[in-house]
Chains A and B, each alone.
Chain A
Amino acid sequence: MHTTKEKRRNYRPLVSNKALQQTMGSYYALTSWHRYWGKFLRRPLAWVTSGAPVELLRAFNIHCAYPEQYAAIYSARKATVDLCEVAEAAGYSQDLCSYARSNIGGVLRPDLAPLGGMPKPDLLVACNNICGTVLKWYEVLARHFNVPLLVLDTPFLTDQLTPQVKDFVLEQLYAMAADLEEITGRRFNEKKLAEQMNLSRKITSLWIETRQYCQASPSPLNAPDLFINMAPIVVLRGSQKGIDFYRKLKDEVKERVELTQGAIENERIRLVWDNIAIWPQLFSFYKMFSEKGACFVTDTYSGGWAVEQAPGTPMESMATTYTEVFLNRSPKFRANQLINLIKEYRADGFVMHSNRSCKPYSLVQEVIRKEVMRETGVPGLMIEADMADPRAYAEEPVRNRVQAFLETFDDLK
């Protein structure tokens, strides 16, 4: 039964949120106190990009922390503007990625950062499968901390993965393993990597299964649920704790479907979301939709972690899986991906967040929007904002566009 407060919010909170808080709370505590246990247990701390081959790092007992994820927290806790201003004063343009700027701000002024900022890394690992920005961002960090920077160069796929690309990535992965042997003093153990890949496969399967329940009407989850619950698959991929959490989440979502319980009341319009969340407006933005009975039943962003591992040896599988991530693919691939989501989830429309901070995600969206509308016949709305920097969010124009878009569905149901 809903409480009055919940009714006003028009969404159904997940019981597993508590398990999420515990899982993530324990991860952040462990990360924050790394300096007390890392050396003792010979477990270096790596700052890694969200698309880095983390299974390889875990096979070397490396503890991973994600600047992108911390940046999302900074934003949700309204610290981004202050942190970005620190980075901007240090010479980093306001047009650069707000995750990167707020991270650099947190490095320069940890006192302004939630969670006390990130603990100092022993090494940095970047993979350019998500953007070119990560290379420049991590170069800045490598100079600042004077620690090793390992980069996995995954060439952009204009079409399909070619043997030459796969060979190149594979060769780099073996070289990265050799570098990690030197950094950690541990030998590369392919069996241990296979174990990590296996754990990763399990967590991914659970995330895929959970998401697929949203094909039901009403959808058991809405976009904010997806965004919040993706945290463990990003930071705890390849861990038993992550698997335990996603089992709980999946069970709850399954139960919701069995009980025909929707994430929002009176689901009337089913939408697909494209791009990173608008973290500073996470609830207020999506409330504009939910109060009109519009639910985001799936999205491309958190779906980026719902991809099965490619076949082959552990190293081969990583080479293919990490190169084929959707942000490293052509607009044609991405349009097809969105078209399939609209069909599979029986969506009535889609909303694209034109995200000033993420060019690879956003610059191609208009071309994709037209293609998807042509192929599916459903309307698509484009909204300009920023994933973390609230200064790039103009509430009134956004509200007007959303209202006009939702009115087009008035005759639908």
Chain B
Amino acid sequence: MVETFNPTDSKESLKLLIEEASLKGADRLNRYPKYRFFGYFCSYFPEELIIAAGLHPLRLLPDSENSTPVELPAYCCSLARGTLDMEVREKWRDLVGIGFTHTCDTMQCLSGIWAASGQSKTVDIVPPVMLKAPGASRYYHAELHTLLSKLTDLTKQKIEAEAIRNALILCANTRKLAAELDVLRPNLPSPLIFSLLRAGQLMPRSEYTHALVNSFPALKEMAEEPHNKAKVLVSSAVLENDSLFEMIEELGGRVVADDTCTGFRHFSGVTVSGSEDPLLDIVRRYSEMPPCPCKNRSLNERISYLTTLAKQRHAQGAIIIVRKYCEPHAWDAATLSESLRKNGIRTLTLELEGANAGGQERTRLQAFLESLLGYEL
């Protein structure tokens, strides 16, 4: 690793994080030539075990939203199409392996397609969907054991309990820092926070936490006093760039609560530790984190959680993003919107092909944000 990628200066650290978020791991071989990366797709893939296996977790994000690999039909989300196309173009060639978690039907299918048509080695974990079902924790624990064996086979190295405990500590620290960043959210530009959180899913975690700690003085310096922007909650699946958040900011909005897969939801919830078997701590972490729409802890838990979050953050409005062909988020959109509206929070549901917000979205966002500001007056 070259020295410039471990800066101690606050502004340099911030610059590094923004760069990493923008590169989405594309320059990893130059920046971290001695590191071995392991790709993963979803926040439900336990990063702790990747780290304990001596690997660095890299969230796989597409470099284009217009890719059309022959293996997938057009009516499939651009995240799956884009990342599979990159596999075909050998962009993930250096990865030790790629981890799939069964969350949505598309990810489940992508795992099989990848194994059949890609070159990378794939590893699956199938967590329970019904997280509070009888026997779910026991099953999850057994699945983690299986995953551990698969990672051991992949790296040809035994993964010690101590290594898992250390990984738990590192991940807990990362999540704590992300939570501190989330506190600064109302006073900092929304795309900046979103970018910094994304970097934490792409960079080696030690380097990330180091750079994030260093960047806090610069961030606090940048923080503005209370503003008159329209306060919004954003809920979405993966967003691989800051386009939407930039547009919200530009049009007079400020994201005060972020429920996106690649945003704060990835870090939210607690990391527990101290169990004799560290895998039990991992089960608890992933069973208790605020659920994505693919998981069920109880019928209305996710809807209630987001409604409460919006109220706690004094959000005036909520922007519900449905990424084209993302079924779990599309299913929840109607109920979530209804619940928020009943609680006096205006909503806008936007369908995006990928992460980029275009002219049509700008018009709708502008009208929505202006209505929030006008409503407040």
Which chain A residue shows the least CB distance to B71?
A366
Kindly state whether residue A155 has any CB partner on chain B within 8 Å.
Answer: yes
A128 in contact with B129 (CB, 8 Å): yes
On chain A, the residues within 8 Å of B106 by CB distance are: 359, 363
Bound-state Cα–Cα, A128 to B126, Å: 13
Kindly state whether residue A151 has any CB partner on chain B within 8 Å.
Answer: yes
Kindly state whether residue B351 has any CB partner on chain A within 8 Å.
Answer: yes
Kindly state whether residue B327 has any CB partner on chain A within 8 Å.
Answer: yes
Question: Chain B 80-122, CB within 8 Å of chain A: the 1/0 string?
Answer: 1000000000000000000000101110111111011100000
Bound-state Cα–Cα, A362 to B333, Å: 24
Question: Chain A 350-389, CB within 8 Å of chain B: the 1/0 string?
Answer: 0000101001101111110001000000000000100000
Give which listed residue, B76, B111, B135, B146, contacts A162 with CB less than 8 A: B146
Question: Chain A 156-199, CB within 8 Å of chain B: the 1/0 string?
Answer: 10100010110110011011000000000000000000000000
Bound-state Cα–Cα, A384 to B74, Å: 10
Give which listed residue, A91, A162, A175, A367, contacts B134 with CB less than 8 A: A175
A356 in contact with B75 (CB, 8 Å): yes
Give which listed residue, A135, A158, A172, A367, contacts B135 with CB less than 8 A: A172
B105 in contact with A93 (CB, 8 Å): no
Give which listed residue, B76, B138, B322, B335, contacts A168 with CB less than 8 A: B138
A153 in contact with B72 (CB, 8 Å): no
On chain B, the residues within 8 Å of A411 by CB distance are: none
Bound-state Cα–Cα, A356 to B73, Å: 9
**From residue A392, how far is it (CB to closest CB) to chain B in Å?**
9
On chain A, the residues within 8 Å of B351 by CB distance are: 93
Bound-state Cα–Cα, A331 to B112, Å: 6
- Please, how many residues of chain A have a CB less than 8 angstroms from a CB on the other chain? 48
Kindly state whether residue B337 has any CB partner on chain A within 8 Å.
Answer: yes
On chain A, the residues within 8 Å of B143 by CB distance are: 155, 164
Kindly state whether residue B214 has any CB partner on chain A within 8 Å.
Answer: no
Bound-state Cα–Cα, A96 to B143, Å: 30
Kindly state whether residue B331 has any CB partner on chain A within 8 Å.
Answer: yes
A360 in contact with B136 (CB, 8 Å): no
- Please, how many residues of chain B have a CB less than 8 angstroms from a CB on the other chain? 54
A140 in contact with B133 (CB, 8 Å): no
On chain B, the residues within 8 Å of A131 by CB distance are: 105
B73 in contact with A363 (CB, 8 Å): yes
Chain A CB within 10 A, most for which of B71, B116, B322, B335: B116
Bound-state Cα–Cα, A155 to B138, Å: 13
A91 in contact with B113 (CB, 8 Å): no
Kindly state whether residue B356 has any CB partner on chain A within 8 Å.
Answer: no
Kindly state whether residue B29 has any CB partner on chain A within 8 Å.
Answer: no
Kindly state whether residue B328 has any CB partner on chain A within 8 Å.
Answer: yes
B71 in contact with A367 (CB, 8 Å): yes
Give which listed residue, B102, B113, B135, B334, contacts A363 with CB less than 8 A: B113
Kindly state whether residue A225 has any CB partner on chain B within 8 Å.
Answer: no
B109 in contact with A363 (CB, 8 Å): yes
Bound-state Cα–Cα, A68 to B134, Å: 27
B138 in contact with A167 (CB, 8 Å): yes
Assuming A95-B324, A131-B105, A155-B126, is B333 touching A367 (CB within 8 A)?
no
A149 in contact with B299 (CB, 8 Å): yes
Which chain B residue shows the least CB distance to A130?
B105
Give which listed residue, B76, B134, B333, B337, contacts A359 with CB less than 8 A: B76
Q: CB within 8 Å of B: which of A234-252? A: none
Bound-state Cα–Cα, A354 to B294, Å: 23
Give which listed residue, A132, A143, A354, contacts B104 with CB less than 8 A: A132
**From residue B353, how far is it (CB to closest CB) to chain A in Å?**
12
On chain B, the residues within 8 Å of A359 by CB distance are: 76, 105-106, 109, 327
Kindly state whether residue A205 has any CB partner on chain B within 8 Å.
Answer: no
On chain A, the residues within 8 Å of B72 by CB distance are: 363, 366
**From residue A139, how far is it (CB to closest CB) to chain B in Å?**
6
Bound-state Cα–Cα, A330 to B129, Å: 18
B330 in contact with A331 (CB, 8 Å): no
Question: Chain A 79-114, CB within 8 Å of chain B: the 1/0 string?
Answer: 000000000001111011100000000000000000
A93 in contact with B138 (CB, 8 Å): no
Kindly state whether residue A28 has any CB partner on chain B within 8 Å.
Answer: no
On chain B, the residues within 8 Å of A366 by CB distance are: 70-73, 113
Bound-state Cα–Cα, A156 to B107, Å: 11
Kindly state whether residue B128 has any CB partner on chain A within 8 Å.
Answer: yes
Bound-state Cα–Cα, A162 to B149, Å: 14
A168 in contact with B128 (CB, 8 Å): yes
Bound-state Cα–Cα, A189 to B78, Å: 49
B130 in contact with A153 (CB, 8 Å): yes
On chain B, the residues within 8 Å of A365 by CB distance are: 73
Bound-state Cα–Cα, A90 to B330, Å: 12
B328 in contact with A132 (CB, 8 Å): yes
Q: CB within 8 Å of A: which of B297-355? A: 299-300, 322, 324-325, 327-328, 330-335, 337-338, 349, 351
**From residue A123, how far is it (CB to closest CB) to chain B in Å?**
13
B135 in contact with A96 (CB, 8 Å): no
On chain B, the residues within 8 Å of A175 by CB distance are: 133-134
A354 in contact with B112 (CB, 8 Å): no
On chain A, the residues within 8 Å of B117 by CB distance are: 367
Kindly state whether residue A137 has any CB partner on chain B within 8 Å.
Answer: yes
Chain A CB within 10 A, most for which of B108, B117, B293, B294: B108
Which chain A residue shows the least CB distance to B74?
A384
Which chain A residue shows the least CB distance to B70?
A366
On chain A, the residues within 8 Å of B138 by CB distance are: 164, 167-168, 171
Kindly state whether residue A7 has any CB partner on chain B within 8 Å.
Answer: no
Kindly state whether residue A332 has any CB partner on chain B within 8 Å.
Answer: yes
Question: Chain B 42-75, CB within 8 Å of chain A: the 1/0 string?
Answer: 0000000000000000000000000000111101
Kindly state whether residue B296 has any CB partner on chain A within 8 Å.
Answer: yes
Bound-state Cα–Cα, A91 to B339, Å: 13
Bound-state Cα–Cα, A153 to B139, Å: 11
B133 in contact with A367 (CB, 8 Å): no
Kindly state whether residue A133 has any CB partner on chain B within 8 Å.
Answer: yes
Assuming A135-B296, A366-B73, is B331 touching A164 (CB within 8 A)?
no
B299 in contact with A153 (CB, 8 Å): no
Which chain B residue shows the least CB distance to A159?
B124
B299 in contact with A92 (CB, 8 Å): no
On chain A, the residues within 8 Å of B300 by CB distance are: 143
On chain B, the residues within 8 Å of A332 by CB distance are: 112, 115-116
Which chain A residue shows the least CB distance to B322?
A93
Kindly state whether residue B142 has any CB partner on chain A within 8 Å.
Answer: yes
A-B contact pairs, 25 of them (CB 8 A): A93-B330, A93-B333, A96-B331, A132-B129, A133-B105, A143-B300, A143-B335, A151-B296, A156-B102, A158-B124, A164-B143, A167-B135, A171-B135, A172-B130, A172-B133, A175-B134, A356-B75, A359-B109, A362-B73, A363-B105, A363-B109, A366-B73, A367-B112, A371-B116, A384-B73
Chain A to chain B: the 8 pairs with minimum beta-carbon distance, closest first: A91-B334, A171-B135, A136-B331, A164-B142, A168-B139, A363-B109, A331-B112, A153-B130
Q: Which residues of B contact A (CB under 8 A)?
A: 70-73, 75-76, 80, 102, 104-106, 108-113, 115-117, 124, 126, 128-130, 133-136, 138-139, 142-143, 146, 293-294, 296, 299-300, 322, 324-325, 327-328, 330-335, 337-338, 349, 351
